[in-house]
Amino acid sequence: MHKLQEAFEARNKKLNKIEKIKELKTPLSVYQRLDEICASGLDALEDADSGFFLKCFGAFLKKDGKFMLRVRIPAGQLNTEQAAKIGELSKKYGEDYIDITTRQQIELRYIQLENLATVLKELDSVGVSTFQTGVDNFRNIVTSAFDGLGDKSIIKVKPLIDAMQSIFLEKEEWIATLPRKFNTAILGTNINDCNIYGHDCCFVVAQKGDTIGFNLYLGGKVGVQAKDTGLFICQEEVTEVFNAVINLFKTYGFRDNRNKNRLHFLLEAVGMEAFVDAISSYSGKQFEQSGEILAKEEFMLDEKGHLELSEELTAIHFSIPSGVFTGESLMEVAKIAKEVEGEIRLSVEQSLYILTTPSRVPEVKSSMLFDIYSRYHNTYFNHQIACAGTATCAFGVIPNKPDAVAMANFLQKEVPIVGGKVRMYWSACPKGCGIHGIADIGFEGCKAKDEEGNKVDGVHIYLGGKATKEAHEARVIFKALPLTVAQEKVKQLMLYYRDERLENESFESFDSRVLAQMPVEKIVELIS
């Protein structure tokens, strides 16, 4: 622990302003006054409450004077009662608007302060929490949308997620007591459909001898992939290792410069070896060396809209452009799932699945809702991500969600591709909430100049991110292109992919086989 203590003392001589705000009161004291706060109105709302403490419970005051409410959905798994309730609350209090997020969560928007306490109580009545979904807290623990299902599952990890979550969720000693936010993912399937290496703490299914467990990776964040600790963690050790990691981060993490306070920076300061030694010391255990990663299979959705997981189970995909959904539609999803005795799963790629038996698939596919979303079952929408953008985010540079949809529609019209997979991820600003850095083709919002020199919405284009079989950040191939120009550039790239790819080859594999071997200048020349 000596190196961790030294790093802590070197970096914590001066606390940042958020750490000073935390000293004013406890988040729970604000939550316990929520009825009073909601009755008092916006004018009486204290800056510290709206700027920090309410965010501990997922409530974010936006520039329109209304709240965005981030709803925790562990592992992205919803029962029909919960889905129906969230949809109902969105329709009644949130202008019938829902965002599905890249952490398998749901965000409600346009909630008036006077209704905030009511919405939270209604969510709690069906076992849904919004606690610790913002600021310096544990964000939703994510996993594969197919956890525990059919031939894709190796270890069912939802029980492990529940056990990890029980350590911190709604516990006063863990609410906003971390130096910075903390993202966790655990993968038990043979496919990586949850960006497993992009989190602070990552458990990746692996095999050591005859034992199936997890390799532990630490220190991921936007723009940085987590690093292998060299440890193999047995299933029964996951919770205590997670507990060790989070306690070490809480105790020794940096609390000065908020831009450099994630776990990544503590690891950078002390070195992975020292942190691994601290995990062993804290837990009182020695661990095996890393095993063989088992999450190596490719995952590709197609135009039929469903995926056979086993003889007894089918996943029916609702491809939701940019994750923009409605409360009424979520209520309909709940109704359909209940009728076919199915389950609901949210995906990291901002869409959802209804799981049911093959014999009930026709019932789902005959629904009006499936008919609406079936038009988006194509190469450009199936694996799309887009963060909020200017409509609802103060950091957004471009509208983003509409831009992502416009690009996908344009490409589907100009270069329809059957049997391909292209992950197009959009971030409205450099913060990278749309995880564009790991996309096959990533877009980062910016301002650009058109041919007349006028300032217009634009994007930087990234190419070659890896996130399904391995982890690798994309490289920039174009900077500050107007959106209309970007469409034409990507069209040329898709024409090349269509004509040169192998049968059913994903863009990620195509990039590794072809484009990654080319100098950037050659790629730019190819599609100019």
Amino acid of residue 168: F
How far lies 447's CA from each of 136, 366, 396, 454, in Å?
Answer: 31, 44, 11, 10
Is 158:148 a contact under the CB 8 Å cutoff? yes
- Say how far apart CA 524 and CA 485 lie, in whole Å: 13
What pLDDT, on the 0 to 100 scale, is given for residue 504? Answer: 87
- Say how far apart CA 249 and CA 183 lie, in whole Å: 12
CA torsion through residues 323, 325, 327, 330, sign: negative
Contacts of 440 (CB under 8 A, 6+ apart): 422, 423, 424, 463, 464, 465, 506, 507, 508, 511
What pLDDT, on the 0 to 100 scale, is given for residue 369? Answer: 98
What pLDDT, on the 0 to 100 scale, is given for residue 306? Answer: 87
What pLDDT, on the 0 to 100 scale, is given for residue 404? Answer: 98
Which residue has tokens 């589907």? 412
- Say how far apart CA 263 and CA 265 lie, in whole Å: 5
Which residue has tokens 């901002």? 350
Number of H helices, E strands in the chain: 18, 21
How far lies 118's CA from each of 34, 122, 262, 519, in Å?
Answer: 10, 6, 34, 57
- CA 160 vs. chain centroid, Å, equals 19
Residue 199: count other Cβ atoms within 10 Å of its Cβ. 26
Amino acid of residue 444: E
Is 131:57 a contact under the CB 8 Å cutoff? yes
- CA 501 vs. chain centroid, Å, equals 29
- Say how far apart CA 186 and CA 147 lie, in whole Å: 10
Beta bridge partners of 346: 352
- Say how far apart CA 241 and CA 280 lie, in whole Å: 9
| pLDDT-flagged residues of the chain (< 50) | none
What pLDDT, on the 0 to 100 scale, is given for residue 244? Answer: 98
What are the DSSP calls for 2-32, one per residue? HHHHHHHHHH-SS--HHHHHHTT--HHHHHT
What pLDDT, on the 0 to 100 scale, is given for residue 25? Answer: 96
Helix segments in 438-500, DSSP class H? 483-500
What pLDDT, on the 0 to 100 scale, is given for residue 471? Answer: 83
What pLDDT, on the 0 to 100 scale, is given for residue 305? Answer: 86
